């Protein structure tokens, strides 16, 4: 990385902005702030922004509206959404509108930085995807369509492979049920099938399928594959 | 005198207080028409208009007198209402218009006026009452002969009975009475000048009325009545202001009424007597065994006399007793009456032959009670039979009863003739048996007929010379004479026994019904059931249609009815509302709105009116006979008490709920103040240390402070999350989003979330293979499970085992979380699920919020499962078990597994 990544924080709470500014600056990010959606969108137009941290509960134009305006305007800037607890619907809507990930308030800095890193990495990967994914026990060779767990090859059905391939492509990011279904099955219904495939996939790749570490469930939202090493 | 003795009398003060908020009534009282009452009223109103303004004319009849007409100029006149009655248009005072206009003072001429049929009140004085009740002052005029208590006296003096009467109570309650006085000579002079107006029809009567003697007498009556009132006012004033005075001892007058025509007059006499004595008074009707034989006319007369007593301001009472004297005396003695008024002839001569005169009996046993014996013909003007026959049973006209009686005599005759064949000639007793038998079976009159027939038959067949009605032997004349007497006495006695039996049976039936009703009501706990039971019972016992109305918002609404389909129209509901507000009857046959189809009666208890009962029947005429009215009162009292009981029970429940809410609220406050402040205190303390002592703190100390800030902040976060969950649960905002879920998936994510709190424990997971998919809200279930794991971590020591198992048990899935702590005290097994309840523990200092388990249970139950706690059977520790139903269609899950 040559220049510092530029992060725009849109949040109406000065305390949150202050704490993000301090902590992100300490991690060598360059930080811009906006206290409402309109100002934030204007700043996105004027400046080259690498990551947007967007609060969903903004006064006036809310976070979802900002996100929609942004994506409708053709911007593909990575977006991390700040949401409140008990707002699974809001999270899913934000993700379906093109947010990259979310953190739930209150959150630790660690968690936010991990999400930011994953989102940025994913953008970079899209330009030149690595041929082999390695994360924990799991290795996926995209060229040879080869899946190994702790050195042993695992046989997957084509659908299972497609599912794992999608998770690997977005490793570290949460994927909504709807997104996965659309990408793998071409339909958005039948979450049931997805649950069953995740279950069988876990049985094949997890050391302890009942306490999975590779494919994690975000209850009410979707699934997340652990980030690559 | 001490100050104690000089305190104002509470009654007098209460009377004053009760009158506040009411309009003031001023009555211009005159001795006769033409004395100038209306003129005087208008002059004074004119004066008052100058003083205070806002005076309107409700109704003033000037009868074209110029002086009076002039006086009405300048007043606002409320137009009269046109009422169509039998093809004629009558103009009546528009009560509603006045109420709506709500002036300070309204002038209402001729208080004694009778309104056109179909008006709200039959009498104008009732209109005035309503105006007063609405805080409007009223000036009105009245002639003395219209006063109820003077009605008889005036009729005696003038030989003209006035039909339009006004209860004395309205004059008593008037705030001012002004006597408009004119000497008889002046009045006659005015009459000659044509200044006194009469309706044409009354012209002739007026000729008799306006003679100097009559006018002088009426004038005296008016003066006396006014003087009496002034006296009463003064006494009230002195009592209210605690002025010492020579008060009469508490005299109380009791008047005894019966079915005789003169009873109403007797009541008026008692009222005048009580007035003179400044005594309270009551009218009593003693109900003896005779009551059953009373004709409808007689019952009406009794009811009328009781009503007159009520109207005149007395108490009206009915007491049951074996005989008249007993009833009156025991009632008088137990209620401290000092004077009794009875009429001279309480019994006919015939019955006095058998029974001692009740009047004499009363006098003999009255002790220190004064007894006034008043001539029965006090009022000749009253119609009604002068002589009253002994109990005249309706059976007297029943031919089958007479035929039966004569049949019995015929049988006796045949038996007697048979006996004569065997030379037994003394067969008088055989006939007597027939007389007694017909007395028992058919009552008095048929048995008297049997007497006559027996005497004739005995004479004809058995007294020589046979087969003639002549009697040869003087001895036999005497025998027949005594036979006749014995037969009459015997039939009288048996008839009485029979009548008492009938009364007793009817009483027993009524008592039984009332008892059953009371028992039925006692077993009812919801208002709707109660009202239904009550309306059904009313309808059945009174054979009428019944609705029950209870207050609802501003008005009243039908809550139950029998038959249930009855509905009331707007006017009827308005009448019921009126009853609810006043606590007085209205509608068919009542004083208010007598033209209505329904009769509305209040249901009252000691605490006030609790509801209104509406009665209706397709049959024309009176809805309730006096007997039914009494039965209704008893039923309504029971129902009113029961309604009050249910209302009270609801109040108590509400209070208990309030107390419970209050307790929870205070627990919440305690919990919040503790659970919010403790972590905040640590955070503030640590952060301020870090800021202030940065230079002097070593790295280890800094790390510790930072760690505690993090830990406490997380604790705070959990607590607030719990509070929010609890709030959602309590406000009913939990709408589970049920999906088919793989249990192991949720268990996994819950364990991941709990990994921090369980970091120091050994978690064992034992999920049975092939668990079915379950219908769950994954977010809620994860939270429920997390709370259980958090609880397990809190109540067990480090390094101890926390075991999570899941198995299928008989079509259900059981998921349990066991810890290895000290377990739950037996008394607390259920209470741990209460909000803000925390098990008192000495060794574990990690107090939770007291909400986690309550939330878990709430969430699990919202998803159709159960959550229970117990102690482990295989060692120390608690076990929490979630039981969930397996949905029917999980085939898809089984296949994939």
Residue B246 confidence class, pLDDT cut points 50, 70, 90? very low
* CB within 8 Å: B893 and A191: no
Q: Nearest by CB to B893, from A191, A196, A218: name it.
A: A196
Cα B602 from Cα B612, distance rounded (Å): 5
Residue B248 confidence class, pLDDT cut points 50, 70, 90? very low
- Please tell me the predicted confidence (pLDDT) of residue B848: 66
* CB within 8 Å: A196 and B752: no
A189 has a chain B CB within 8 A of its CB:
no
Cα B785 from Cα B350, distance rounded (Å): 97
Cα B270 from Cα B370, distance rounded (Å): 13
Q: Give the range among A214-223, B197-206, B311-320, B704-713 with minimum mean pLDDT.
A: B197-206
A205 has a chain B CB within 8 A of its CB:
no
Say yes or no to pLDDT of B201 above 50. no
What is the sign, positive or negative, of the torsion defined by CA atoms of B266, B271, B275, B278?
positive
| Minimal-distance CA residue of chain B relative to A85 | B721
- Suggest the residue from B680, B742, B748 to mutate for an interface test with chain A (most A CBs closer than 10 A): B748
More confident residue, B751 or B145: B751
Residue A7 confidence class, pLDDT cut points 50, 70, 90? very high
Q: Are B106 and B131 in contact (CB under 8 A)?
A: yes
B644, containing H or E segment: helix B626-692
Say yes or no to pLDDT of B10 above 90. no
Q: Nearest by CB to B740, from A192, A208, A220: name it.
A: A192
- Please tell me the predicted confidence (pLDDT) of residue B897: 37
Q: Give the range among A100-114, B24-38, B684-698, B837-851 with minimum mean pLDDT.
A: B837-851
Torsion, Cα of A71, A76, A78, A84 (10° steps): 10
Instruction: Name the minimum distance, in Å, from the CA of B778 to any CA of chain A.
Output: 6
Q: What percentage of chain B exceeds 90 in pLDDT?
A: 7
Q: Are B817 and B802 in contact (CB under 8 A)?
A: yes
A195 has a chain B CB within 8 A of its CB:
yes
Q: Are B51 and B163 in contact (CB under 8 A)?
A: no
* Mean pLDDT of the B225-231 span: 71
pLDDT tens-digit series, residues A93-138: 999 999 999 998 888 888 899 999 888 888 777 656 678 888 888 9
Give the global pTM.
0.45
| Residues of chain A contacting B893 with CB distance shorter than 8 Å | 196
* Mean pLDDT of the B21-30 span: 87
Nearest CA among B803, B814, B818, B815 for reference residue B764: B803
List, as one string, the DSSP characters of A5-21: PEEEEE-S-HHHHHHHH
* CB within 8 Å: B752 and A216: yes
| Minimal-distance CA residue of chain A relative to B766 | A210
* B198 three-state secondary structure: coil
* Mean pLDDT of the B424-428 span: 76
Nearest CA among A110, A124, A102, A122 for reference residue A54: A102
Q: Nearest by CB to B724, from A86, A106, A217: name it.
A: A86
pLDDT tens-digit series, residues B254-282: 998 877 767 788 888 888 888 877 778 88
Q: Give the range among A188-197, B290-299, B488-497, B760-769 with minimum mean pLDDT.
A: B290-299
| Residues of chain A contacting B778 with CB distance shorter than 8 Å | 217, 219-220
* Mean pLDDT of the B194-206 span: 60
Give the Cβ contact number of residue B310 at 10 Å.
15
Residue B23 confidence class, pLDDT cut points 50, 70, 90? confident
Task: List the strands of the sheet with A79-83, edge to edge.
Answer: A30-34, A6-10, A51-55, A79-83, A101-104
Most confident segment among B128-132, B519-523, B716-720, B833-837: B128-132
Cα B738 from Cα A199, distance rounded (Å): 19
Give the Cβ contact number of residue B661 at 10 Å.
10
In B582-680, the DSSP E strands lie at 586-587, 599-605, 608-616
Cα B767 from Cα A209, distance rounded (Å): 11
Q: Nearest-5° angle of CA B24, CA B25, CA B26?
A: 125
Cα B464 from Cα A16, distance rounded (Å): 135
pLDDT tens-digit series, residues A9-36: 999 988 889 889 998 988 889 999 999 9
- How many Å is the maximal CA-CA distance in chain B? 153
- Suggest the residue from B723, B778, B807, B815 to mutate for an interface test with chain A (most A CBs closer than 10 A): B778
* CB within 8 Å: B752 and A211: yes
Residues 6+ apart with CB under 8 A from B798: B760, B761
What is the sign, positive or negative, of the torsion defined by CA atoms of B46, B50, B51, B56?
positive
* CB within 8 Å: B747 and A209: no
Residue B3 confidence class, pLDDT cut points 50, 70, 90? very low
| Minimal-distance CA residue of chain B relative to A86 | B779
Say yes or no to pLDDT of B784 above 90. yes
Number of H helices, E strands in chain A: 8, 12
Tokens for B28? 């211009």
* CB within 8 Å: A219 and B749: yes
| Residues of chain A contacting B748 with CB distance shorter than 8 Å | 210-212, 217
pLDDT tens-digit series, residues A34-64: 999 999 999 998 988 999 999 998 888 989 9
- Please tell me the predicted confidence (pLDDT) of residue B241: 59
- Please tell me the predicted confidence (pLDDT) of residue B467: 82
Q: Where are the alpha helices (DSSP H) in B693-837?
A: 699-730, 743-753, 778-794
- Suggest the residue from B744, B751, B781 to mutate for an interface test with chain A (most A CBs closer than 10 A): B744
Cα B678 from Cα B519, distance rounded (Å): 59
Cα B404 from Cα B795, distance rounded (Å): 96
Tokens for A192? 């049931």
Q: Are B283 and B317 in contact (CB under 8 A)?
A: yes
Say yes or no to pLDDT of B557 above 90. no
- Suggest the residue from A211, A212, A222, A226 to mutate for an interface test with chain B (most B CBs closer than 10 A): A211
Residue B533 confidence class, pLDDT cut points 50, 70, 90? confident
pLDDT tens-digit series, residues B490-526: 888 887 787 777 777 777 777 777 777 877 777 777 8
Q: Are B767 and B747 in contact (CB under 8 A)?
A: yes
Q: Nearest by CB to A210, from B721, B767, B897: name it.
A: B767
* B369 three-state secondary structure: coil
| Minimal-distance CA residue of chain A relative to B890 | A192
* Mean pLDDT of the B756-762 span: 89
pLDDT tens-digit series, residues B609-668: 888 999 888 777 677 776 777 778 778 888 888 888 888 888 888 888 787 777 777 766
* CB within 8 Å: B896 and A220: no
| Residues of chain A contacting B739 with CB distance shorter than 8 Å | 191
Average pLDDT, chain B: 79
* CB within 8 Å: B744 and A209: yes
Instruction: Name the minimum distance, in Å, from the CA of A215 to any CA of chain B.
Output: 10
| Residues of chain A contacting B744 with CB distance shorter than 8 Å | 199, 209-210
pLDDT tens-digit series, residues B673-685: 777 888 888 898 8
Q: Are B641 and B608 in contact (CB under 8 A)?
A: no
* CB within 8 Å: A219 and B782: yes
* Mean pLDDT of the B687-705 span: 87
* CB within 8 Å: B742 and A195: yes
Q: Give the range among A155-169, A185-199, B739-753 with minimum mean pLDDT.
A: A185-199
DSSP state of B60: -
Say yes or no to pLDDT of B107 above 60. yes
Radius of gyration from C-alpha coordinates of chain A: 18
Residue A1 confidence class, pLDDT cut points 50, 70, 90? very low
Give the Cβ contact number of residue A131 at 10 Å.
10
Half-sphere exposure of B850 (CA within 13 A, CB side): 18
Q: β-pairing, B252-257 with B105-108? A: unpaired
More confident residue, B827 or B200: B827
* CB within 8 Å: B748 and A211: yes
Half-sphere exposure of A23 (CA within 13 A, CB side): 14
| Residues of chain B contacting A217 with CB distance shorter than 8 Å | 745-746, 748-749, 778
Residues 6+ apart with CB under 8 A from B24: B132, B137, B138, B175, B176
Distance from the first to the final alpha carbon of chain B: 104
Q: Nearest by CB to A200, from B713, B724, B896: name it.
A: B896
Say yes or no to pLDDT of B7 above 70. no
Say yes or no to pLDDT of B212 above 80. no
Q: Are B276 and B269 in contact (CB under 8 A)?
A: no
Cα B425 from Cα B419, distance rounded (Å): 7
* B34 three-state secondary structure: coil
Nearest CA among B284, B390, B383, B392 for reference residue B335: B284
pLDDT tens-digit series, residues B377-401: 554 333 333 333 344 444 445 688 8
* CB within 8 Å: B737 and A220: yes
pLDDT tens-digit series, residues B588-602: 877 777 777 888 988
């Amino acid at each position: 990385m040559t220049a510092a990544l530029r992060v725009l924080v849109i949040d109406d709470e000065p305390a949150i902005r202050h704490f993000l500014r301090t902590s992100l600056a300490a991690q060598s990010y360059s930080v811009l702030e906006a206290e409402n959606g309109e100002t934030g969108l204007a700043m996105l137009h004027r400046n080259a922004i690498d990551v947007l941290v967007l609060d969903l509960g903004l006064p006036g134009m809310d976070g979802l509206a900002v996100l929609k305006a942004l994506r409708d305007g053709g911007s593909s800037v990575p977006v991390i959404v700040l949401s409140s607890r008990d707002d699974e619907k809001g999270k899913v809507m934000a993700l379906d509108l093109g947010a990259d990930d979310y953190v739930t308030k209150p959150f630790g800095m660690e968690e936010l930085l991990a999400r930011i890193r994953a989102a940025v990495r994913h953008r970079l990967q899209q330009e030149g995807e690595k041929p082999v994914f390695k994360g924990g026990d799991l290795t996926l060779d995209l060229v040879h369509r080869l899946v190994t767990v702790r050195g042993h090859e695992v046989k997957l059905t084509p659908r299972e492979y497609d599912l794992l391939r999608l998770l690997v492509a977005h490793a570290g990011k949460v994927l909504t049920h709807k997104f996965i279904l659309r990408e793998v099955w071409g339909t958005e219904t039948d979450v049931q099938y997805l649950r069953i495939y995740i279950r069988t996939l876990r049985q094949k790749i997890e050391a302890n399928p009942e306490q999975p570490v590779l494919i994690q469930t975000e209850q009410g939202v979707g699934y997340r594959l652990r980030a690559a090493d | 005198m001490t100050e104690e003795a000089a305190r104002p009398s509470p009654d007098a003060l209460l009377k004053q207080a009760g009158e506040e908020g009411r309009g003031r009534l001023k009555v211009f009282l005159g001795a006769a028409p033409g004395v100038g009452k209306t003129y005087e009223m208008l002059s004074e109103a004119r004066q008052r208009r100058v003083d205070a303004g806002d005076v309107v004319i409700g109704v003033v009849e000037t009868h074209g007198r110029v002086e009076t007409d002039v006086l009405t100029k300048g007043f606002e006149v409320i137009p009269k209402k046109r009422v169509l009655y039998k093809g004629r248009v009558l103009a009546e005072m528009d009560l509603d218009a006045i109420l709506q206009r709500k002036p300070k003072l309204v002038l209402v001429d001729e208080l004694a006026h009778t309104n056109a049929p179909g008006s709200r009140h039959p009498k104008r004085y009732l209109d005035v009452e309503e105006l007063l009740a609405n805080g409007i002052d009223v000036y009105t005029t009245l002639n003395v002969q219209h006063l109820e208590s003077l009605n008889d006296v005036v009729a005696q003096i003038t030989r003209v009975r006035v039909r339009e009467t006004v209860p004395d109570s309205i004059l008593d309650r008037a705030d001012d009475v002004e006597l408009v006085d004119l000497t008889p000579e002046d009045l006659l002079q005015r009459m000659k000048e044509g200044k006194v107006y009469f309706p044409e029809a009354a012209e002739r009567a007026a000729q008799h009325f306006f003679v100097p003697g009559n006018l002088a007498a009426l004038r005296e009556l008016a003066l006396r009545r006014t003087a009496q009132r002034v006296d009463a006012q003064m006494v009230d004033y002195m009592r209210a202001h605690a002025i010492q005075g020579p008060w009469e001892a508490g005299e109380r007058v009791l008047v005894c009424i019966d079915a005789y025509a003169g009873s109403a007059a007797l009541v008026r006499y008692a009222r005048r007597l009580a007035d003179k004595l400044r005594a309270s008074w009551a009218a009593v009707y003693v109900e003896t065994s005779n009551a059953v034989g009373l004709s409808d006319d007689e019952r009406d007369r009794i009811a009328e006399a009781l009503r007159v007593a009520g109207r005149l301001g007395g108490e009206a009472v009915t007491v049951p007793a074996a005989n008249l004297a007993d009833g009156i005396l025991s009632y008088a003695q137990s209620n401290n009456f000092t004077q009794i008024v009875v009429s001279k002839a309480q019994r006919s001569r015939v019955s006095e032959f058998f029974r001692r005169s009740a009047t004499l009996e009363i006098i003999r046993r009255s002790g220190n009670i004064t007894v006034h014996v008043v001539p029965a013909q006090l009022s000749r003007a009253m119609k009604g039979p002068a002589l009253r026959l002994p109990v005249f049973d309706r059976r007297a006209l029943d031919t089958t009863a007479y035929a039966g009686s004569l049949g019995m005599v015929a049988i006796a005759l045949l038996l007697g003739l048979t006996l004569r064949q065997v030379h037994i000639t003394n067969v008088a007793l055989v006939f007597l048996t027939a007389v007694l038998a017909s007395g028992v079976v058919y009552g008095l009159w048929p048995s008297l007929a049997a007497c006559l027939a027996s005497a004739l038959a005995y004479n004809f067949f058995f007294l020589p010379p046979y087969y003639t009605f002549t009697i040869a032997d003087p001895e036999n004349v005497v025998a027949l004479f005594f036979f006749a007497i014995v037969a009459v006495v015997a039939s009288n006695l048996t008839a009485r026994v029979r009548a008492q039996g009938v009364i007793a049976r009817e009483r027993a039936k009524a008592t039984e019904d009332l008892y059953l009703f009371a028992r039925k009501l006692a077993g009812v706990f919801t208002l709707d059931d109660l009202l239904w039971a009550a309306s059904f019972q009313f309808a059945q016992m009174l054979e009428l249609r019944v609705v029950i109305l209870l207050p609802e918002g501003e008005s009243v609404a039908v809550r139950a009815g029998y038959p249930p389909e009855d509905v009331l129209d707007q006017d009827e509901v308005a009448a019921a509302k009126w009853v609810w507000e006043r606590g007085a009857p209205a509608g068919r046959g009542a004083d208010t709105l007598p033209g209505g189809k329904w009769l509305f009666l209040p249901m009252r208890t000691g605490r006030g009116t609790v509801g209104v009962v509406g009665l209706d029947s397709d049959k024309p005429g009176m809805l309730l006979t006096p007997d039914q009215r009494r039965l209704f009162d008893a039923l309504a009292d029971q129902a009113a008490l029961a309604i009050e009981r249910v209302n009270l029970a609801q109040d108590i429940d509400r209070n208990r709920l309030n107390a419970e809410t209050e307790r929870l609220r205070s627990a919440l406050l305690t919990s919040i103040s503790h659970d919010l402040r403790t972590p905040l205190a640590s955070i503030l303390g640590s952060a301020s240390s870090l800021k202030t002592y940065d230079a002097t703190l070593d790295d280890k100390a800094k790390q510790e402070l930072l760690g505690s800030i993090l830990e406490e902040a997380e604790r705070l976060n959990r607590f607030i999350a719990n509070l929010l969950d609890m709030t959602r649960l309590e406000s009913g905002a939990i709408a589970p989003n049920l999906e088919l879920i793989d249990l192991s998936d949720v268990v996994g994510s819950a364990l991941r979330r709990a990994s921090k709190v369980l970091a120091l424990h050994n978690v064992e997971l034992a999920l049975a293979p092939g668990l079915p998919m379950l219908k769950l809200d994954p977010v809620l279930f994860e939270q429920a499970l997390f709370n259980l794991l958090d609880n397990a971590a809190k109540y067990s020591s480090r390094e101890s085992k926390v075991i999570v198992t899941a198995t299928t048990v008989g079509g259900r899935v059981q998921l349990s979380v066991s810890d290895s702590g000290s377990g739950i005290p037996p008394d607390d097994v259920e209470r741990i699920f209460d909000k803000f309840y925390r098990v008192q523990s000495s060794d574990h200092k990690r107090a939770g919020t007291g909400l986690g388990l309550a939330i878990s249970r709430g969430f699990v139950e919202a998803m159709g499962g159960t959550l229970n706690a117990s102690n482990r059977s295989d060692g120390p520790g608690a076990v929490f078990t979630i039981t969930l139903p397996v949905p029917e269609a999980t085939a898809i899950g089984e296949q994939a597994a």
